[in-house]
Structures are given as structure tokens and as C-alpha cells.
């Protein structure tokens, strides 16, 4: 199994906190960066692939200085494309089932250790998401920013739509597991869509609607934070400090 980390974006909403390199090198606990934190799970995979774009050469040098075995893929058009494009730029290197991570999420690594044991494509969902989101923003902002998610007994039915009346049972965490077969199916579907700016959740939702793939799910109520803004960054440092000192 291979690990793919999508880290090509600039993260403009973080401002000067991180304008010199990827979100992978944000210091989240003392001298520990996001990369250092995630690095602990790399040994569970036969290979780690990281997609870079912003400050490519700077970030590539930092990564290979820490681990020369990591494979680097470049998204030269990171300014005009999205996560889905970054994902499929890895196609020539993918030869097994994969776990995909966004570079701006920090979470209990047990989530990774559990999902790699489950066969097939899988979306872990965060059932404790609302507790964290209430620390990030007010109620109206949550209703605007959060995405809908529908499930049945075994599978994801839909995700990525606007919220209606009720808050969903969970949220997408920026973590996804795909079988090699489903990765190839999604690659072909992406080429047919010809939309390099499509968001990941919208892309996955379209694939589910068109029955390109099926996605199982697993519920988690574990530590998870997303670093999307300055407020998120300082909040994540505080929360991670509390977790590591339990």
C-alpha cells in the first residue's frame, strides 16, 4: 500500500505564518512540524509520495533531507488546479492500493492504522466534527462552510453538498483510501470530466452518482484538526498540546 500526501497549495489564508514553504512544515508542537508528526505513519506503507507545487524546490529539499526514500511529484499548475489534479499527477507512480492525505490535517494516527486493515475503498468520517468547528467559527459560518454527508448501512450515498436543515453525522477529514482498481476508474472519470478545478468532495460525489465506484465508510470520534486559517493554526497547536499531554 502507498501513501499519497497532497501538499501543492500555497495556503494563502495563513498569511505570513507559512509563506515560505508548504503547510507540511508548519510548527504544530514545539519544533515538531506537520511533516514530523505524519512521518510516524510512513513506515506502514511500502512507499510515500508527496505532491508539491508552491515553493517546490524549497519543500523538496526539506523533505528529502528528512527522508530520501520519499517520492516527489510536481504540480506545476498548482495555482490554477485543485487537489484532484494533484492526486492524478501521481498516476505513473501508483501501483497498489493508496491512502490519500491532505497536508493540512492533523489527527490521531490510529485512524490510519485502522483503515489500512480494511479491504476496498473507504472514507473515514469524523463524527466529532461539530465540537471542533464550534471552536473555529460561529453557527452561521458552520452552516455555510460544512458539507452535507449521507450514508446507508454500508456506504457513502453522497457528500459535498450544501447543508439543508440538519447537521450531518460526520464530515470528510481530508483522508481517503482507494483500491488500485478504483483509483484507475476515477482517473479515467476525471479525464472525461475535464475539469481541473473541481473540488475533491464534489468529484467523489459525482463519481458516486455515476456509480463509478462505491465508498465504504468508517466512523471516528478521535482527535482531528484542519489548518485552514490563522485561527485554525493557533487552535490546532493548543489542541495538539492538550492531546500530547494527556
For the chain (246 residues), the mean pLDDT of every run of 10, in chain order, is 95 67 85 92 97 95 96 96 97 98 94 97 95 88 91 94 87 97 98 95 97 97 89 85 68
Residues 6+ apart with CB under 8 A from 53: 7, 8, 9, 10, 74, 75, 76, 77, 78, 79, 86
Helix (H, G, I), strand (E, B) or coil at 232: helix
Q: Which domains does the chain have, with CATH numbers?
A: 2-244 (3.90.550.10)
Closest CA to 228 of 21, 31, 23, 6: 23
| pLDDT score, position 245 | 60
For residue 77, how many other CB atoms are within 10 A of its CB? 13
| pLDDT score, position 233 | 87
| pLDDT score, position 166 | 87
- pTM value is 0.95
Rounded to whole angstroms, the Cα distance separating 71 from 37 reads: 18
Closest CA to 133 of 89, 171, 82, 177: 171
| pLDDT score, position 163 | 87
Q: How far does Cα 239 stand from its chain's mean position? A: 19
Amino acid at each position: 500500500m502507498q501513501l499519497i500526501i497532497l501538499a501543492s497549495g500555497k495556503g494563502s489564508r495563513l498569511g505570513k505564518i507559512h509563506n515560505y514553504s508548504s503547510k507540511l512544515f508548519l510548527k504544530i508542537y514545539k519544533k515538531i512540524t506537520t511533516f514530523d508528526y505524519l512521518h510516524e505513519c510512513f513506515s506502514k506503507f511500502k512507499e510515500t509520495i508527496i505532491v508539491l507545487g508552491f515553493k517546490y524546490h524549497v519543500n523538496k529539499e526539506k523533505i528529502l533531507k528528512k527522508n530520501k526514500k520519499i517520492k516527489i511529484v510536481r504540480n506545476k499548475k498548482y495555482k490554477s488546479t485543485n487537489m484532484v489534479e494533484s492526486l492524478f499527477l501521481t498516476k505513473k507512480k501508483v501501483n497498489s492500493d493508496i491512502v490519500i492525505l491532505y497536508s493540512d490535517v492533523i489527527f490521531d494516527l490510529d485512524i490510519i492504522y485502522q483503515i489500512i486493515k480494511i479491504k476496498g475503498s473507504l472514507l473515514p468520517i469524523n463524527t466529532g466534527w461539530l465540537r471542533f468547528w464550534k471552536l473555529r467559527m460561529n453557527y452561521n459560518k458552520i452552516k455555510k462552510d460544512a458539507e452535507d454527508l449521507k450514508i446507508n448501512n454500508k456506504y457513502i450515498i453522497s457528500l459535498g453538498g450544501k447543508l439543508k436543515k440538519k447537521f450531518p453525522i460526520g464530515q470528510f477529514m481530508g483522508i481517503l483510501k482507494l483500491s488500485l482498481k478504483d483509483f484507475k476508474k476515477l482517473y479515467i472519470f476525471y479525464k472525461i470530466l475535464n475539469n481541473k478545478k473541481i473540488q475533491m468532495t464534489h468529484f467523489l460525489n459525482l463519481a458516486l452518482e455515476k456509480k463509478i465506484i462505491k465508498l465504504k465508510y468508517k466512523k471516528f470520534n478521535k482527535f482531528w484538526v484542519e489548518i485552514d486559517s490563522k485561527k485554525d493554526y493557533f487552535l490546532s497547536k493548543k489542541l495538539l498540546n492538550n492531546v500530547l499531554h494527556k
